[in-house]
Structure 1
Amino acid sequence: MGKHIPFAQYLFRRLTQLHCHSLHGVPGDFFLRALDHIPQSGLRWIGNASELCAGYAADGYARVGSQLLRHKPGLRSGSSPIVGALMTTYGVGELSATNAVAGAYAESVPVVHFVGTPSRKAMWGDNKLPVHHTLGDGRMNVYAEMAKSISCSRALLYKYDDITTAAELYDEALQMAVIQSKPVYVGVASDMFEQPVLEDMLEKPLDTKPPLSNWRSEDTVLDVLLDKLRTSRRPLIIADGLSYHFDFQSEINALVSLTGIPSMCFTFGKGVIDESLPTWDPALPNTTEYSQNADLVLIFGPVLGDTNTAGWSAIPDVQNTFLFNLDSVAVSGHVVPNVRSRTLLQRLLMRLKEENVVRKPKFERTQRDAPRKAPSANSTILQDDLWPALSDFVKPEDTLLLANGTPLVGGRAIQLKSGCQVIASPIWNAIGSMLPAAQGVALAKRDHQLPGRTILLEGDGSFQVTAQSISDIIRYKLDVTIFIANNAGYTYERWLNGMHAEYNDVPAWRYTDAPRFFGVKEDDPTYPTLGRRVQTWGELQEVLHDDRVGDGKGLKIIDIVLDPEDVPEKAKPGLARASNALRTT
């Protein structure tokens, strides 16, 4: 007989095989015994202030996968090499995390959600007396049913007496999380964590290789694509953010470099394509003469939601458009399933190297907006000045998180350096998500020794939703730099409806006092903290050139005071369309 280990160790050691070295969550009575096995499993427990913060942090942790691939290309398997993970208690804990897990599902992020449940006897026995954290009506499986719609797989391990069968089902769920790049739900009963399971089972590698394409379908798409490239006079490449998650980034940049095809991005796709390339165009698709008249458009990793595409106005006409998803390609609106886009791209690059089929198109890069006249030192800060000013602050390999609202729109104006990644929420758009996500990103960068700073461009309203994540950042001494766009409320909502309405206001907080409130040790040489409130252009310039802010070490909070009604000029037409849509649809 081989050596046995507690089932909890099996669960956790499998996670480390997917490059997850930290488990987020809030302790709960149904899984406390599991936590005793974390130190022996190669994991670290990250105790969060709330389950909601834990869920967003796990999401952020997993999104670092694309950067890990660039530095460790041997890990490439066709999707993210990192999963994020959280552990919550049955009912009250898991439902608190549901918002975050749903966002991960909507935006294709592989997150493993462990739920500690009552014992198997309580879950499936004849005892009809109510158990705490239930709805009191005897429906013990009701929460797992809720999770069905936001999980690509559910491993309801509490249904099984045989621990080996439970382990095998768990392995299958992990494989699905990676292959489909979606969350999975793992329900484990309180009496299972210390059950013995054969350690040798861990020696069988998880099979995270995606299924092969249907070769006939792939050949057909490749031939059609090559024919289109041969005849196209005005081809265009558009990158979107799922390219990060689906591991297209390397192939997309190789395609742009090889062919010289002009390239652009939707908001979520910022950073996918190297912005130093000569054919990179910073404008939004469908806003330039070239993009409006493109006769062939290749869109990679698309999320065609309204907030990601300026109210759908940036989406090209479906004719002569190829949409490259994880395991399908849409050709002029016709979806061809069972085609792995990354494999198809690799074959396309090989063919293009063999034959020069692409005519170099005549293309004039959209010039970035001419620098506005430098404001005087005493001038108030306008958004049209703020976001371009951050371009010089950004360094290679930085990870920028754009909170929903003001930073999500303004962040397009920041010119990125080589190796930068942008993290945003293109479809779920939950305010408050990016602060805990920044905690997860900073932790993943530390766990995997990745270069670059973690920079969060936050809104004041968003900050107030999940402010307790500051305590998590401090507790684990994570390096995060936060710029808060403090415009006293929900400015984009003001432009949609209720410019001066009280419901669009948020309370006035002293944001730079947050570290002290959350218990930071002042003057700690191992963990520097700094807070600055800036109200004028001169004060902003001082901060941006302050080495203590720029070094990225410790926690830095910069409170940037903005006019409550100010938005970038380029955002106003889209906001007007959105406001009109609210009244007419």
Structure 2
Amino acid sequence: MSETSLDIRTQRLHKPVDVAEYLFTRLHQIGIRSVHGLPGDFNLVALDYVPKAGLKWVGSVNELNAAYAADGYARVKGISALVTTFGVGELSAINGVAGAFSEHVPIVHIVGCPSTISQRNGMLLHHTLGTGDFNVYADMNAPISCEVARLNKPSEIADQIDHTLRECWIRSRPVYIMLPTDMVQKKLEGQRLDTPIDLSEPKNEEEREDYVVDVVLKYLHAAKNPIILVDACAVRHRVLEEVHDLVEKTQLPVFVTPMGKSAINETHATYGGVYAGNGSQPEVAARVEAADLVLSIGSLKSDFNTAGFSYRTSQLNTIDFHSTHCVVRYSEYPGVHMKGVLRKIVDRVDVSKLPRTSSPPVVNKVSENLDDSQTITQAWFWPRFGEFLKENDIVVTETGTANFGIWETKFPAGVTGLNQTLWGSIGWSVGATQGAALAAVDMGTDRRTVLLVGDGSFQLACQEVSTIVRHNLHVTIFLIYNEGFTIERWIHGMDAEYNDITRWKYTEIPSAFGASPENVKTYVVKTKDCLEKLLTNEEFNKAKGLQFVELWMPKEDAPRALKITAEISAKTNAKTE
């Protein structure tokens, strides 16, 4: 396109705005308030537009942590944005973005890249592979993005941005936007910004939806012992309102999976606990597996989410509700989304035809796991931690010890639990905590954010403490000091050198990363009495600033569910055919 034709096109615009202004304004309109990422020469000019759109630049310490943080932010706020630079930056972030794709977390990944002229001429630029292929990184990102947009033509860019952001929200997965340097200040029609992007969920075809609802109700009304089982995608695809209404109206026993933990108000009378096959508490497993109908909502039946695929429920007795389809026993209904189906089930269910059955009581079993020793055991700690929590806390647990231990913790109402059970990238939780805490601030709330992370995992991503300090976020970190990679020890190599780590001076890390004595408090806790004193301390419970607790636990101790799952995982890894 010639310069003349470009000028004519620009003159025809009623309210011209720059591409970067349009993009970042759209991010603000869909609910994002902070943008994670790092500067690089291919995104610098675009970053000048971040504050102009009313957004805050976070500035993480590396791209991987920024991706982790964007993941945590999106899980609390609903959606997030990540900006990296071409090649070196985006590839550092790709692990974190892949985890978000795996776990259905919507991240808008914007990559500043060389100009369209440089790309067209195949110039030998830095951050390239030297092959002249400028699409190679976008192609790498394509399998972990639900939409890829290359913003190369000004006449198409506004449509591309709007479509891509809608796909990110509706499909609840990352998208990839490639922004060339010479497109940043090209002009678009700004009048489009007066009309928000339509983020409404797609409607089911009414006749098909009604048919599925009728089939579900037929089985539900006939069941003698039905239950509800809620998993991660019920959270990610925003059907918790429908789920809560269903539980409230039917008063059916309701359980969650490990990935679905906190999806249900755990103080509700019919809440029965965490179901994960053999990893469940015996009374939970018995209750779920005795059901003659399981309403399974948003399931992700991964190995760690099911304690090594140890479910003992039959598809013959299961109705699965998903974001893209529903499955009633062995009949699949593609294109029938769960949101509309669940709402009609709530509206039409005849509660007089439902049985009144009970759930096993859920309590924090502190006294049952108390022994005569001062050693802080996994069995005692997790129920005790549940008594420390308050309503509406945000709790982030790391892959490994914490992810399995939290199964034994009963949450107060309103708690948001974040875990990465499917992707399981160690170190994720540190960045995710920063993002989650920042999201709480951006939402105008004063929620406590609590991280539970092992010493091994912490060493992979500890720099994100610097970003927590930089933004003065109120975060409490419980670092479980147990001398290495406990989950790996239980899978294989209990005494192997490769599962050991270097002993750090953990409590000095916040000050090394810039925290002032007024904004950080550090503790080393080695006994039950010491921990009890800390957990009941009034100032500690206020959780102002950064609180860093080095919590000593035995090297070979592990939560009950971790031991069970690790044993199954070891056997699976050992299979040869």
Asked whether the 8 Å contact 1:395–1:452 carries over to 2, the reply is: no
2:297 is aligned to: 300
Give the SS at the match of 2:395. strand
| Counterpart AA for 1:579 | A
- Structure 1: state its 5+ residue gaps: 66-81
* Residue ranges of structure 2 left out of the alignment (5+ in a row): 1-12
379, 385, 388: which one aligns with 2:380: 385
Listed as ranges, the matches of 1:194-273 within 5 Å are 194-273=185-264
Q: How does 1:13-412 map to 2 (within 5 A)?
A: 13-65=25-77, 82-124=78-120, 127-158=121-152, 160=153, 163-286=154-277, 287=282, 288-314=285-311, 316-352=313-349, 356-361=352-357, 364-365=360-361, 369=365, 371-372=367-368, 374-375=370-371, 379-412=374-407
Partner residue in 2 for 1:71: none
Instruction: Report which stretch shifted further, 306-315 or 17-26.
Output: 306-315
Equivalent of residue 520 in structure 2, options 521, 529, 543: 529
1:492-535 per-position Cα deviation (integer Å, ceiling 9, x unaligned): 21111111001011111121111111011222xxxx21111111
SS at match of 1:29: coil
Relative to 1, partners in 2 of residues 1:323 and 1:547: Cα closer, same or farther, differing over 3 Å?
same
* CA displacement at 1:363 relative to structure 2: 5.0
Deviating more after overlay: 87-96 vs 360-369: 360-369
- In structure 2, relative to structure 1, the CA distance for the partners of 1:254 and 1:315 (3 Å cut) is farther
Cα RMSD for the two superposed structures? 1.7
- Equivalent positions of 1:438-517 (< 5 A) are 438-517=433-512
Distance 1:243 1:477 in 2: 32
1:308 and 1:400 mapped to 2: Cα distance? 18
State the Cα distance separating 1:581 from its structure 2 match.
2.1
* Mapped partners of 2:563, 2:17: distance in 1: 60
Q: Deviations over 1:183-239 (max 9, x none)?
A: 100001011112222321211220111221122321221111111111111111111
- The CA deviation at 1:355 is 5.6
Q: What does residue 549 of structure 1 align with?
A: 540
State the AA in 1 paired with 2:384.
A
Q: Partners in 2 of 1:385 and 1:20 — Cα distance? A: 39
The question of whether the paired residues in 2 share the 8 Å contact of 1:309 and 1:315 is answered with no
Q: Quick one: distance in 2 between partners of 1:283 and 1:351?
A: 28
**Superposed CA offset, 1:346-389 (max 9, x none):** 1111112x66321213555467647236445x711110011111
Corresponding residue SS for 2:140: helix
**2-side partners of 1:578 and 1:253: how far apart?**
34
Q: 1:501 to 1:17 in 2, by over 3 A?
A: same
Question: Please, which moves more after superposition, 41-50 or 192-201?
Answer: 192-201
Q: Which residue of 2 aligns with 1:77?
A: none
Distance of 1:467 and 1:27 partners within structure 2: 20
8 Å contact 2:363–2:410 — kept in the other structure? no
Which range is displaced more, 251-260 or 138-147? 251-260
Q: Please give the alpha-carbon distance, in whole angstroms, between the structure 1 residues aligned to 2:108 and 2:359.
A: 45
Q: Deviations over 1:73-122 (max 9, x none)?
A: xxxxxxxxx32001100011000000011111111111000000001101
Give 1:150 deviation, angstroms: 0.5
**1:428 maps to which of 420, 423, 428:** 423
Alignment partners' CA distance in 1, 2:43 and 2:560: 52
1:121 counterpart letter in structure 2:
I
**Is the deviation greater in 357-366 or in 530-539?**
357-366
Shift of 1:278: 2.0
- 1-side partners of 2:203 and 2:424: how far apart? 33
Match of 2:4 in 1: none
C-alpha displacement at 1:243, in angstroms?
1.4
Partner-residue secondary structure (3-state), 1:435: helix
Give me the whole-angstrom Cα distance separating, in 1, the residues matched to 2:367 and 2:243: 30
What CA distance in whole angstroms lies between the structure 1 residues aligned with 2:416 and 2:312? Answer: 23
The code of the aligned residue for 1:334 comes to S
Amino acid at match of 2:442: D
For 1:2, the equivalent position in structure 2 comes to: 14
Percent of pairs with identical residues: 37
Question: Is contact 1:285-1:315 (8 Å) kept?
Answer: no
Higher mean Cα deviation, 97-106 or 306-315?
306-315
* Matched-pair contact (CA < 8 Å) for 1:483–1:559: yes
SS of the residue 2:272 aligns to: coil
Which string of whole-angstrom CA distances, capped at 9 and with x for unpartnered residues, describes residues 520-553 of structure 1? 1222xxxx21111111111111221122321121
Give yes or no for contact 1:442–1:480 (8 Å, CA) kept in 2: yes
Say whether the 8 Å CA contact 1:375–1:537 is kept in structure 2: no
Superposed CA offset, 1:128-164 (max 9, x none): 4411101101111111111110111111103x2xx23
TM-score by length of 2: 0.94
Cα gap change, 1:223/1:513 in structure 2, threshold over 3 Å: closer, same or farther?
A: same
- 2:3 corresponds to which residue? none
Q: Contact 1:51/1:97 (CA < 8 Å) preserved in 2? A: yes
Q: Which moved more, 1:109-118 or 1:541-550?
A: 541-550
Could you tell me how far apart the structure 2 residues matched to 1:545 and 1:366 are?
22
Q: Which stretch of structure 1 is more off in the superposition, 570-579 or 45-54? A: 570-579
User: Secondary structure of the equivalent of 2:353?
Assistant: coil
SS at match of 2:31: coil
Which stretches of structure 1, 4 residues or longer, exceed 6 Å deviation after superposition? Answer: none
Counterpart of 1:339 in structure 2: which amino acid?
A: V
Q: Does the CA-based 8 Å contact 1:303-1:426 persist in structure 2?
A: no
Amino acid paired to 1:345: L
1:411 and 1:363 map into 2 onto residues whose CA distance is 20
Alpha-carbon offset, residue 466 of structure 1: 0.7
Distance between the aligned counterparts of 1:581 and 1:91, measured in 2? 36
> What is the aligned length?
558
Whether the 8 Å CA contact 2:456–2:501 is kept in 1: the answer is yes
Task: Give the whole-Å Cα distance in 1 for the aligned partners of 2:521 and 2:92.
Answer: 31
